[in-house]
Amino acid sequence: MSIIEKIADLNTFYAFSIALEEEAAERHDELADMLDVHNNPDVAATFRKLAHYSRLHAQEIGDRAKGRTLPVIAPWDFGWESAEGPETGDIGDVTYLMNTAHALQLAMGNEQRAHDFYDQISRESQVPEVAAMAAEFAAEEKQHLGLLRGWVNKTKASVDEQLYDPDPPHMPE
Protein backbone atom coordinates (compact mmCIF):
# COMPACT_ATOMS: atom_id res chain seq x y z
CA MET A 1 0.00 0.00 0.00
CA SER A 2 1.40 3.40 -0.96
CA ILE A 3 1.71 6.17 1.60
CA ILE A 4 -1.01 8.11 -0.25
CA GLU A 5 -3.37 5.15 0.12
CA LYS A 6 -2.45 4.82 3.79
CA ILE A 7 -3.40 8.44 4.46
CA ALA A 8 -7.04 7.79 3.73
CA ASP A 9 -8.55 10.40 6.05
CA LEU A 10 -7.72 13.62 7.86
CA ASN A 11 -7.05 11.92 11.20
CA THR A 12 -4.39 9.71 9.63
CA PHE A 13 -2.94 12.75 7.88
CA TYR A 14 -2.63 14.52 11.24
CA ALA A 15 -1.00 11.43 12.76
CA PHE A 16 1.57 11.34 9.97
CA SER A 17 2.26 15.08 10.17
CA ILE A 18 2.76 15.05 13.94
CA ALA A 19 5.07 12.03 13.71
CA LEU A 20 7.02 13.74 10.91
CA GLU A 21 7.65 16.83 13.05
CA GLU A 22 8.24 14.97 16.33
CA GLU A 23 10.78 12.68 14.69
CA ALA A 24 12.51 15.67 13.10
CA ALA A 25 12.66 17.48 16.46
CA GLU A 26 14.07 14.42 18.15
CA ARG A 27 16.75 14.02 15.48
CA HIS A 28 17.70 17.71 15.62
CA ASP A 29 18.14 17.32 19.37
CA GLU A 30 20.29 14.22 18.84
CA LEU A 31 22.46 16.08 16.34
CA ALA A 32 22.73 19.06 18.72
CA ASP A 33 23.86 16.73 21.51
CA MET A 34 26.48 15.14 19.23
CA LEU A 35 27.97 18.50 18.31
CA ASP A 36 27.74 19.82 21.87
CA VAL A 37 29.80 16.93 23.15
CA HIS A 38 32.35 17.46 20.40
CA ASN A 39 32.81 21.11 21.27
CA ASN A 40 31.12 22.55 18.23
CA PRO A 41 28.75 24.97 20.01
CA ASP A 42 27.71 27.01 16.95
CA VAL A 43 26.42 24.01 15.04
CA ALA A 44 24.90 22.54 18.21
CA ALA A 45 22.99 25.79 18.74
CA THR A 46 21.75 25.71 15.13
CA PHE A 47 20.42 22.17 15.50
CA ARG A 48 18.88 23.08 18.86
CA LYS A 49 17.06 25.99 17.21
CA LEU A 50 15.83 23.70 14.44
CA ALA A 51 14.59 21.21 17.07
CA HIS A 52 12.68 24.03 18.72
CA TYR A 53 10.93 24.97 15.47
CA SER A 54 10.10 21.36 14.65
CA ARG A 55 8.60 20.97 18.10
CA LEU A 56 6.59 24.18 17.69
CA HIS A 57 5.29 22.93 14.37
CA ALA A 58 4.32 19.56 15.92
CA GLN A 59 2.52 21.48 18.66
CA GLU A 60 0.64 23.61 16.15
CA ILE A 61 -0.54 20.54 14.26
CA GLY A 62 -1.46 18.88 17.55
CA ASP A 63 -3.56 21.93 18.47
CA ARG A 64 -5.38 21.80 15.14
CA ALA A 65 -6.10 18.11 15.69
CA LYS A 66 -7.50 18.71 19.18
CA GLY A 67 -10.70 16.80 19.85
CA ARG A 68 -9.99 14.24 17.16
CA THR A 69 -9.10 10.62 17.82
CA LEU A 70 -5.95 10.01 15.88
CA PRO A 71 -4.77 6.53 14.98
CA VAL A 72 -1.80 5.21 16.91
CA ILE A 73 0.79 4.10 14.40
CA ALA A 74 3.99 2.23 15.19
CA PRO A 75 7.12 4.08 14.01
CA TRP A 76 7.87 1.27 11.53
CA ASP A 77 4.32 1.22 10.14
CA PHE A 78 4.35 4.70 8.65
CA GLY A 79 6.15 3.29 5.66
CA TRP A 80 7.99 6.51 4.83
CA GLU A 81 9.58 6.38 1.42
CA SER A 82 13.00 6.75 3.00
CA ALA A 83 14.13 4.93 6.15
CA GLU A 84 12.82 7.70 8.39
CA GLY A 85 10.38 10.58 8.15
CA PRO A 86 10.95 13.03 5.28
CA GLU A 87 12.07 15.83 7.61
CA THR A 88 14.43 13.62 9.63
CA GLY A 89 18.09 14.12 8.83
CA ASP A 90 20.36 11.12 8.49
CA ILE A 91 22.59 10.50 11.52
CA GLY A 92 25.36 9.54 9.12
CA ASP A 93 25.36 12.97 7.47
CA VAL A 94 27.04 14.83 10.31
CA THR A 95 30.65 15.18 11.31
CA TYR A 96 32.26 16.88 14.29
CA LEU A 97 34.01 19.30 11.93
CA MET A 98 30.90 20.62 10.19
CA ASN A 99 30.07 24.32 10.33
CA THR A 100 26.79 26.23 10.52
CA ALA A 101 26.51 26.39 6.74
CA HIS A 102 26.69 22.59 6.52
CA ALA A 103 24.04 22.27 9.24
CA LEU A 104 21.74 24.66 7.40
CA GLN A 105 22.33 22.80 4.15
CA LEU A 106 21.19 19.58 5.86
CA ALA A 107 18.18 21.38 7.33
CA MET A 108 17.21 22.71 3.89
CA GLY A 109 17.36 19.19 2.51
CA ASN A 110 15.02 18.06 5.29
CA GLU A 111 12.56 20.89 4.65
CA GLN A 112 12.65 20.23 0.93
CA ARG A 113 11.77 16.56 1.47
CA ALA A 114 8.95 17.55 3.84
CA HIS A 115 7.66 19.99 1.21
CA ASP A 116 7.82 17.29 -1.48
CA PHE A 117 5.98 14.85 0.80
CA TYR A 118 3.08 17.22 1.40
CA ASP A 119 3.11 18.40 -2.18
CA GLN A 120 2.76 14.83 -3.44
CA ILE A 121 -0.19 14.22 -1.11
CA SER A 122 -1.83 17.47 -2.19
CA ARG A 123 -1.60 16.39 -5.83
CA GLU A 124 -2.42 12.70 -5.50
CA SER A 125 -4.77 12.27 -2.54
CA GLN A 126 -8.31 11.32 -3.49
CA VAL A 127 -9.60 12.83 -0.23
CA PRO A 128 -10.29 16.53 -0.83
CA GLU A 129 -9.82 17.65 2.79
CA VAL A 130 -6.51 15.77 3.01
CA ALA A 131 -5.32 17.22 -0.29
CA ALA A 132 -6.26 20.74 0.83
CA MET A 133 -4.48 20.49 4.16
CA ALA A 134 -1.43 18.90 2.52
CA ALA A 135 -1.26 21.84 0.11
CA GLU A 136 -1.35 24.20 3.08
CA PHE A 137 1.45 22.27 4.84
CA ALA A 138 3.50 22.17 1.63
CA ALA A 139 3.25 25.95 1.46
CA GLU A 140 4.41 26.20 5.09
CA GLU A 141 7.41 23.99 4.37
CA LYS A 142 8.24 26.25 1.43
CA GLN A 143 8.11 29.17 3.80
CA HIS A 144 10.49 27.37 6.16
CA LEU A 145 12.86 26.86 3.24
CA GLY A 146 12.77 30.59 2.62
CA LEU A 147 13.57 31.30 6.27
CA LEU A 148 16.48 28.90 6.14
CA ARG A 149 17.79 30.59 3.02
CA GLY A 150 17.75 33.82 5.02
CA TRP A 151 19.82 32.15 7.75
CA VAL A 152 22.26 30.85 5.13
CA ASN A 153 22.70 34.36 3.76
CA LYS A 154 23.43 35.70 7.24
CA THR A 155 25.94 33.06 8.30
CA LYS A 156 29.61 33.76 7.82
CA ALA A 157 30.39 30.07 7.40
CA SER A 158 30.52 28.45 3.98
CA VAL A 159 29.79 24.93 2.77
CA ASP A 160 32.99 25.19 0.73
CA GLU A 161 35.12 25.63 3.83
CA GLN A 162 37.83 22.96 4.04
CA LEU A 163 37.19 20.71 7.05
CA TYR A 164 40.53 20.26 8.74
CA ASP A 165 41.57 18.93 12.11
CA PRO A 166 45.31 19.12 12.86
CA ASP A 167 44.90 16.42 15.49
CA PRO A 168 42.30 14.02 14.07
CA PRO A 169 40.89 11.13 16.09
CA HIS A 170 41.79 8.67 13.36
CA MET A 171 45.45 8.06 14.13
CA PRO A 172 45.84 4.28 13.84
CA GLU A 173 48.10 2.95 16.57
Partner 1 sequence: MSQSITAGALKPKDYKSAIKPIWCPGCGDFAVLNAVTKALAWLELPLEKVALISGIGCSSRIGAYTSVYGFHGVHGRALPLAAGLKAAREDLTVLVAGGDGDGLSIGGNHFIHACRRNMNMTYIIMDNEVYGMTKGQASPTTAPDWAGSKLTPGGTAIRPFKPAALALASGASFIARAFTGDPNELARILVAAIEHKGFSFIQALSPCPTFRPEQMDWKYQVHAFEPETTSNPVLAIQRLQADDGMGMGIVYQQDLPVFQPGGASPSTDVASFENEFAL
Q: Which is nearer to partner 1, 76 or 164 (CB)?
A: 76
Q: Which is nearer to partner 1, 33 or 140 (CB)?
A: 33
**Minimum CB–partner distance for residue 112 and partner 1 (Å):** 19
Please report, for residues 88, 115, 142, 143, the alpha-carbon distance to residue 108 in angstroms, rounded to integers and kept in the order given: 11, 10, 10, 11
Indicate the burial class of 130 (C-beta count within 10 angstroms; 0-12, 13-18, 19 or more): buried
Q: Which is nearer to partner 1, 75 or 146 (CB)?
A: 75
**Minimum CB–partner distance for residue 150 and partner 1 (Å):** 26
Q: Helix or strand or coil: residue 163?
A: coil
Nearest to 130 by CA among 3, 1, 11: 11
Residues at the contact surface with partner 1, assessed by CB under 8 A: 14-15, 18-19, 22-23, 26, 30-31, 33-38, 58, 61-63, 65-66, 70-76, 78, 80, 83-84, 90-96, 98, 169-173
Alpha helices in the chain (DSSP H): 3-6, 10-37, 41-64, 100-124, 128-154
Q: Which is nearer to partner 1, 84 or 119 (CB)?
A: 84
